[in-house]
Amino acid sequence: MDSIRLLKVKFNFFCFHWSLLTFVILTVLYPCTVTYGGENNSPFILFAGNEYKSLKSDELLAWINSLTKENPINYITVIEPLPNTILPPDMASPVFVWEDPVKNSAWLITIKKKGETLLKAFLNNQWWIPESDTWNKIKKTAGLKPIELVIQGIGGWNGREILSENSIYLSFSRDRVDARLMFIRKPLPFSNASQNPELSQILAGNISAYQKPDIIMSGLNTCSNCHTYSSDGKVFALDIDYGGDKGAFAMAQVQSDMKLDNNNIFSWNKIPVRKPALYSMGLFGQLSPDGKFITATVNERALFIILDDLSFSQLFFPLAGQIAIFDQKTKNFKLLEGASHTSMVYTSPSWSPDGKIIAFSGIPTNSRQIQTLLNKKQLNKNPRQNIRDLNKKYPVQFDIYTLPFNHGDGGSAKPLTGASRNGYSNYFPRYSPDGKWIVFTQSPTGMLLQPDSKLIIIPSTGGKARPLSSNQPIMNSWHSWSPNSKWLVFSSKARSPYTELYLTHINVQGVSSPAIRLFRFSSNNFAALIPEFIPNHKNIPEIIAFESLKTVKIKKHDQ
């Protein structure tokens, strides 16, 4: 009896290690290979192991079908993509990430369409990035029908037990993004970016590309921030402290190789200063759709406190400011009537797509807060404070207004229904290019870099406000519409203190899909900020250089 018992132990030991060895061979030792079988090349199986190339699809499926399921099954948490995510047809493969409560030796991925298997993949880690050929095959086969992603954890004593699983549904939209994306990359916390401006970069990339976006501007020894395009993509403007001037702005026709100098620079500081401002920076500048004008906040004075917190390293909002217009043709400046009274603070302007309306944020001037700012002793600049404590100490709530541009003469500002007088701070309005919607940022208080900020959508003429379904758990802001009004890109800190970019689909009813993280645009050491879709144009900047400012030339970005 002892010899029989010993034989059983040895047999079980052998089975366990043979199964483990099989999965090591399948998932670690060899590069992934794709083989197609069945009629019309469907289903197809992704597997690892060069020695298995000779096996037919039905032999591989037989091995998979030999797996047994343990009950009750454990629940796998799919982290991304989220259930019911809608993906652009021109997007490179996303990253699939999940958490398994069981320490399994491998995971089986199955993708189905109407119950028919399209793909099966073995993995030895809890993430997967499909290669381009595989992803293109999935997109082509799926079409516009939803696909089911099934994740099963495999382990047990013989390595053939399904111990955990979960599934989600995804779909591909017929709407392409069809535009490149420009954004700024900065180190954190803010004090690091401020002291080391040469570390900041401007990048441009295509969501269809499998490589990282390309750097088109870097190595500058001065601060640069907001960037903006005309609706046809032919004119570009950038907030940059050229020559030590905080109010300097670059504005030029887009070319492949942009070398800018004094002929392309204007300064908001040509506008006479109004107290309590010391100068004008031209905050949140935006080009008109035709590229003939630019509007920005001038005569601003802001409450600005720098913090050590990596995620939320500053408190910032203007205590004074007016909206001004710069005419590119005449080189003249003008304060915009209806958005330039000293009794109010006006900021973050945005153009309607026809150029006839300007939306902006406003709040009555708070003389007490201004006095606190002017009295340096009363302003606590302890960097160990956190953003939530400061929000309680310096509460502020902006409303969104609209007024006619009227060829620069302005008019009467009116609060926008759904984006004003609602007990929240409302800011950064952005019109959809088709003129149907406005998406703005809303938070309990404040304006910039708020942990509880959400994206809200309303009809462009005002109406019922609805939070986007794509909002992440923490910080949603810096949003931009695709030129076709079908997609919205925005920044969030949901997965990392180093801000990342997310993409969501907006349907004709203004309903957003769960957002997909643009992981190829992310960095482990830099925040991705102020994303802006570049309207289609034959001359896309490959490098932006400034005369007398140090730049680093880099390779041409993906076309």
Span 74-123, pLDDT tens digits: 999 999 999 999 999 999 999 999 999 998 778 889 999 888 888 888 78
- How confident is residue 22, by pLDDT bands cut at 50, 70 and 90? very low
Do 217 and 356 reside in the same domain of the chain? yes
Answer whether residue 556 is part of any domain: no
Are residues 477 and 428 in contact, defined by beta-carbon separation less than 8 angstroms? yes
The better pLDDT of the pair 194, 2 is held by 194
* Residues 146 and 237 both lie in one domain: no
What was the pLDDT predicted at 28?
34
Q: In this model, does residue 42 exceed pLDDT 50?
A: no
358, burial (CB in 10 Å: exposed 0-12, middle 13-18, buried 19+): buried
DSSP state at residue 28: I
H/E run at residue 397:
none
pLDDT reported for residue 78: 96
**Which pLDDT value is given to residue 164?**
92
Among 499, 546, 478, 527, smallest CA distance to 222 is for 546
| Rounded distance between C-alpha atoms, residue 261 and residue 546, angstroms | 6
Residues 421 and 461 in one domain: yes
Instruction: List Cβ neighbours of 539 (8 Å cut-off, separation of 6 or more).
Output: 234, 254, 255, 256
pLDDT in tens, 181-225: 989 999 888 888 788 888 888 898 999 999 999 888 887 766 767
The percent of the chain in helix, strand and coil, each rounded to the nearest 5, is: 15, 40, 45
Phi, psi of 387 (to 5 degrees): -65, -35
pLDDT in tens, 220-260: 766 767 778 888 888 888 888 887 888 888 888 887 787 87
H/E element holding 123?
strand 116-123
CA-nearest of 177, 298, 182, 283 to 229 is: 182
Count H helices and E strands in the chain, helices first: 6, 37
Residue 555 belongs to a domain: no
Residue 240: predicted pLDDT: 83
pLDDT recorded at residue 157: 77
Q: Which of 296-310, 446-460, 507-521 has the lowest mean pLDDT?
A: 296-310
Integer Cα distance of 127 and 254 in angstroms: 40
Are 38 and 128 in the same domain? yes
Element (H, E) at 19: helix 2-24
**Domain limits at 515?**
180-546
Residue 156 lies in a domain: yes
> Does one domain contain both 542 and 522?
yes
**Eight-class DSSP state of 142:** H
Q: Per-residue confidence at 58, pLDDT binned at 50, 70, 90?
A: low
**Confidence band, pLDDT 50/70/90 cuts, at residue 555:** very low
> Are residues 153 and 224 both part of a single domain?
no
Closest CA to 552 of 75, 159, 170, 221: 221
Number of domains in the chain: 2
- Specify if 551 maps to a domain: no
478 inside domain: yes
Residue 229: give its domain's CATH number: 2.120.10.30
Of 129, 151, 172, which residue constitutes the final position of a domain?
172
Quote the tokens at residue 36: 């197609």
Helices (H), 160-222: 190-195
* pLDDT tens, position by position, 414-467: 999 999 999 999 999 999 999 999 999 999 999 989 999 999 999 999 999 999
Structure tokens given for 440? 């703005």
Percentage of the chain beyond pLDDT 70 is 84
- Are 214 and 239 in the same domain? yes
Does residue 278 share a domain with residue 378? yes
Going by C-alpha positions, the residue among 112, 99, 201, 80 that lies closest to residue 525 is 201
* Any domain includes 412: yes
User: What's the whole-number average pLDDT of the chain?
Assistant: 83
Last residue of a domain, one of 142, 172, 202: 172
Write down the residue that tokens 């830099």 correspond to: 526
- Distance CA(530)–CA(373), nearest Å, equals 27
Distance between CA atoms of residues 387 and 5, nearest Å: 66
Tell whether 107 and 187 lie within a shared domain: no
HSE at residue 426, side-chain half, CA atoms within 13 A, is 29
Which is more confidently placed, 546 or 194? Answer: 194
CA distance 552 to 485: 34
- Provide DSSP, 63-109: HHHT-EEEEEEEEPEEEESPTTEEE-TTPPP--EEEE-SS--SEEEE
| pLDDT grade for 351, boundaries at 50, 70 and 90 | very high
Which tokens sit at 108?
Answer: 């089986």
Residue where a domain terminates, one of 172, 189, 213: 172
What separation in angstroms does the CA of 499 have from each of 78, 228, 306, 440? 21, 20, 17, 18
For residue 307, how far is the Cα from the chain centroid? 23
| For residues 174-180, average pLDDT | 93
Greater model confidence, 337 or 121:
337
Q: Examine the domain organization and report whether 326 and 397 are in the same domain.
A: yes
Look up residue 250 and give its amino acid. A
C-alpha–C-alpha distance, residues 264 and 254, integer Å: 12
Token readout for 267 is 């300064």
Residue 266 shares a structural domain with residue 117: no
Q: How confident is the model at residue 48 (pLDDT cuts 50, 70, 90)?
A: very low
Task: State the pTM of this model.
Answer: 0.88
Averaged pLDDT for residues 303-332: 91
- Position 433 scores a pLDDT of 96
| CATH number of the domain where residue 53 is located | 2.60.40.10
> Which value, in Å, is the radius of gyration of the alpha carbons in the chain?
27
Q: What pLDDT score was predicted for residue 232? A: 83
Q: Is the pLDDT at 379 greater than 80, yes or no?
A: no
Q: Rounded mean pLDDT of 2-10?
A: 38
Degrees to nearest 5, angle at CA 82 with 80 and 87: 95
Q: What is the pLDDT of residue 550?
A: 45
Q: What is the pLDDT of residue 499?
A: 95
Residue 378 confidence class, pLDDT cut points 50, 70, 90: low
Record the tokens describing residue 94, joined without a space. 């996303």
Are 462 and 487 in the same domain? yes
What is the pLDDT at residue 51?
35
Name the residue with higher pLDDT: 493 or 141: 493
pLDDT for the residue 383: 66
31 confidence band (pLDDT: 50, 70, 90): very low
Is 552 within a domain? no
What is d(CA 32, CA 247) in angstroms, rounded to the nearest whole number? 54
Q: What is the pLDDT of residue 56?
A: 60
Q: At a CB cut-off of 8 Å and minimum separation 6, what does 54 contact?
A: none
